[in-house]
Amino acid sequence: MFNHKFHVSETDWDYDYTNRYFEVTADEDMSEIGTEIFLTYGSKCNTRLFVNYGFAVAHNDDNTVVVELRIPAADPAFWIKTRFLDTDDSGKTDSVSLVQFVFATVSPFFFALI
């Protein structure tokens, strides 16, 4: 059994498709009885770690929260807000304060779009 640790460099793992098994290789001597062996499941939020692997990590820097906002079509700033959130060529959106964005009027966005 292995323990998870972010950014592990002491082990590597691979799947052998011919023989159909996982192979974990230690990069250092692990022959001492009681030596903990770590591998990484990658940078994942606690929800994914728990659902897929059955554990969560305290103080996980990779935790994420998905917040879906719908801007009412009747909002006077609807067009400007939706344009402001359009993605650039890289597919990334501008980072904005959620509270400022939801309660904004037309004027703050007018200057941001110039």
Co-location of 44 and 82 in the same domain = no
pLDDT in the model for residue 82:
72
Reported confidence tier of residue 61, pLDDT bands at 50, 70, 90:
confident
Residue 59 placed within a domain:
no
Residue 87 placed within a domain:
yes
pLDDT tens digits, one per residue of 24-46:
888 888 888 888 888 888 888 88
Cα(18)–Cα(14) distance, integer angstroms? 12
pLDDT tens digits, one per residue of 77-109:
777 777 766 644 444 455 555 555 555 555 555
Strand, coil or helix: 12: strand
pLDDT in the model for residue 112:
47
Q: What is the DSSP secondary structure assignment for residue 107, as one 8-state letter?
A: H
Mean pLDDT of the chain: 74
How far, CA to CA in Å, does 44 sit from each of 6, 15, 20, 67? Answer: 9, 20, 26, 17
Residue 43 placed within a domain:
yes
> What's the domain range around 19?
3-53
pLDDT in the model for residue 113:
45
pLDDT in the model for residue 89:
47
Prediction pTM value: 0.47
The total of structural domains in the chain comes to: 2
pLDDT tens digits, one per residue of 5-20:
877 777 888 899 999 9
Residue 37 placed within a domain:
yes
Co-location of 16 and 49 in the same domain = yes
Residue 36 placed within a domain:
yes
